Chains A and B, each alone.
Chain A
């Protein structure tokens, strides 16, 4: 598949609102979907739809094959050796809750500590706060440095009492867009024999994932941020962990034997997939994997690095803007949070929206980070490989007009 013009692959990019062309700069919230993903899901429902597992007919075989194939594709996509190490969930949030409620609940003891960071999205914070309250665990935090990365300055103090048993950290902050040093994270976890969960929600759409090379215990990401549909997330877990963990949700599909007084769990990964799973969504995610793979990481990286460099360069020219995080491309996605002198993020977003430009304003489900940055909210522009230089220049022009309007 040769991609000359990726924009024509995405039908929604032709949208116009009030005579303004859509400029979609909210990709960290969710990405747009290529035609092939839409067709794959539509086609599934037209020619292959049945319930999976233990179906007794040819149509169930088709559904089963589609679902299994999707699992295998996702495993290959992230470098997992075994497809049984891929659990499909509703989203990354559910995947983290799954780990907290099973691995966390079963293997962590009162007095143990979990290490998070101040830059975590609430989805990698709340499940641990919840668990900590119930199991009398301690939550400790890495701070954020000026470049927008994890700060390891306090590490020696944090590990001194030997209580940290699990690190749950984001590969890239959804507010700051800067790559964390994954090798360093892995090294630190290894130094103290702690388990490691990586939140790759903002990483997986933009950079290749390799769970084998990274040697992570758990990794989560979500389909809808990487050209896939909503309603499908992925938990990768090392086989020995998944096999040792107790079940999460109970119901059909995740059991072995069932009697009136008890049950045995199915083998992994079905053990963690209770009820009818999001089959069409898994098919959609597989199609998204196909699309990104065909496009090629080289092409995606070259395009995105150019975007990030241009976006940052042009934003830095505006004296009335403050940019959070100091890193430059290629360590930084074309994902930038900023503040404008004298103009509230909501007003910026509203006026950009009037011009067809979609950004996000608010706390981005990252209250501890907002507190660290000493702001209540920021405006965030987050680009993907289908955004163009022209869109960036238009965005910059409108930002100047907005500032002018308020001064």
Chain B
């Protein structure tokens, strides 16, 4: 099962929204426990929507493609819509079958997003169990 579809490789080689925000409202760091890869994601949230988002970190093609794809989906969208983005939605965005072994790679982006919104709202952050459910 080859998950390295054209869109995955495109986002990996040409990541959208890579970098850091000069003045992020929220900065979230995510670590993938299955491999130790780290990702830092900056969010600028205002007027009830994600105004801007940037990410940094070295990761596999799946994790990098996921955050790149997610960033395009999420920038300019209201928080209320973003709340519904979950594991199923992320896998659908990737468009390739994600095995259990690579689930966390695909979901680092979702964990970062969810915790950014939580942090913005002053709520406690969630962990991997909630994202994987």
Contact = CB atoms under 8 A, between A and B. Distances in A.
Contacts of A345: 35, 60
Contacts of A347: 4, 60-62
Nearest to B58: A376
Size category, A interface: 10 to 19
Nearest to B8: A347
Contact of B36 (A350, A354, A363, A405): A363
Contacts, number: 46
B2 A344 contact: no
Contacts of B90: none
Interface string A381-407: 000000000000000000000000110
Interface in B33-52: 34-38
Contact of B102 (A346, A376, A406): A346
A343 B64 CA distance: 12
A350 B61 CA distance: 11
B80 interface: no
A346 B2 contact: no
B1 interface: yes
What DSSP secondary structure best describes chain A's contact surface?
helix
Contacts of A406: 9, 12-13, 61
A362 interface: yes
Contacts of B110: none
B59 interface: yes
A377 interface: yes
Given A344-B59, A347-B61, A362 B9 contact: no
A42 B69 CA distance: 52
B3 A346 contact: no
A194 interface: no
A351 interface: yes
Contacts of B60: 344-347
Contacts of B36: 362-363, 367, 370, 376-377
Contact of B35 (A351, A354, A363, A405): A363
19 contacts: A343-B61, A344-B37, A344-B59, A344-B61, A345-B60, A346-B35, A346-B60, A346-B102, A347-B62, A350-B3, A350-B4, A351-B4, A361-B35, A362-B36, A363-B35, A376-B37, A377-B35, A405-B4, A406-B9
A-B pairs, top 5 by smallest CB distance, nearest first, are A344-B60, A346-B60, A347-B61, A347-B60, A362-B35
